Chain A
Amino acid sequence: MEWMEILKVFLVGGIICLIGQLLIDYTKLTPARILVIFVTAGAVLTALGLYEPLVTFGKSGATVPLPGFGYNLAKGAMNAVQTDGLMGALTGGIKETAAGITAAIFFGYLIALIFDPKPKS
């Protein structure tokens, strides 16, 4: 692992987040819509073969932000179609992202049950 590698990750991750911030500041899109746009854009760009180069270059910088979630969904579906045929279109997306989705649901549920919301000051 070199510093150059980390710099690339930093740049790609930073730029994706910066795009999100620009959308928040200069458009009337709510954060919820922006999350949906990012995941969808990641999946579409992956299908067009345009996101994979970004992942090769920026690694975690491209996979940790939400377009990376879309990337994994689309890549999962495409890989599964290649190995399992038509049914892969239905199974691949969730299979590839199962750990993340399940962890988010399980930990999220536990934590929401344990903690109470802070009163807004």
Chain B
Amino acid sequence: MKKSKNEKDAKKRYEEYVSRFTPGSRSVSNGIKAFVVGGALCSAAFVVQNFIQQNFGLESKEAGTIVTVGLIFAAQLLTGLGLYAPLAKFAGAGVIVPITGFANSMVATAMEFKSEGPVLGVGSKLFQLAGPVIVCGISVSVIVGLIYYVMGIFDFKLPWV
């Protein structure tokens, strides 16, 4: 037993030793994949938004909302079908950082807790990851609004805005 533990230690030490001489080749390829997939996702959203805007005579903001809702639905459907996890394994932050990652996290956690019931299980676990994001985002937006209000009273503007 003791010998095998030593072997394991030696193996671990060797891996650490090697990793010092292979400067993040995995990280470089991860970074490229995240950059390309993330960029492509945003570009696709942009092209679709322009298409909707031109062909349905909508304003930029409305078309943007439609695209956002579409992205959210698509990401959640892929999650339900079990296709999002392999995608995230490949593209990493490229599909986690866009709004699709947020949408995916809701379904992914909720599905795991179906055994706890459709209301208290799925209903609450939908927010296991999305909860902190929404709570922090909305809280910051309120603080921003308050500060902006006070700045308005004193007629103060940031010099570079």
Interfacial residues, chain A to chain B (CB-CB below 8 A)? 1, 5-6, 9-26, 31-32, 34-36, 38-40, 43-44, 46-49, 58-61, 63-66, 68-70, 73-74, 76-78, 80-82, 85-86, 88-90, 92-94, 99-101, 103-105, 107-109, 111-118
The reply to whether B144 and A13 form a contact with Cβ atoms under 8 Å apart is no
Q: Which residues of B contact A17 (CB under 8 A)?
A: 34-35, 37-39, 93-94, 97-98
- Chain B residues lying within 8 Å of A26, measured Cβ to Cβ, are 27
A1 to B21, CA, bound (A): 46
Contacts of A58 in B (CB 8 A): 42
| Residues of A close to B72: CB separation below 8 A | 100, 103-104, 107-108
- 5 nearest A-B pairs in the assembled complex, by CB-CB distance: A17-B38, A13-B42, A89-B145, A14-B39, A93-B141
Interface of A is mostly: helix
Chain B contact patch, size range: 35 or more
With a cutoff of 8 Å between Cβ atoms, the chain A residues found around residue B145 in the complex are 77-78, 80-81, 88-90, 92-93
Give the contacts of B4-40 with A (CB-CB under 8 A). Answer: 24, 26-27, 30-31, 33-40
Residues in A with CB closer than 8 Å to B43 are 6, 9-10, 13, 60-61
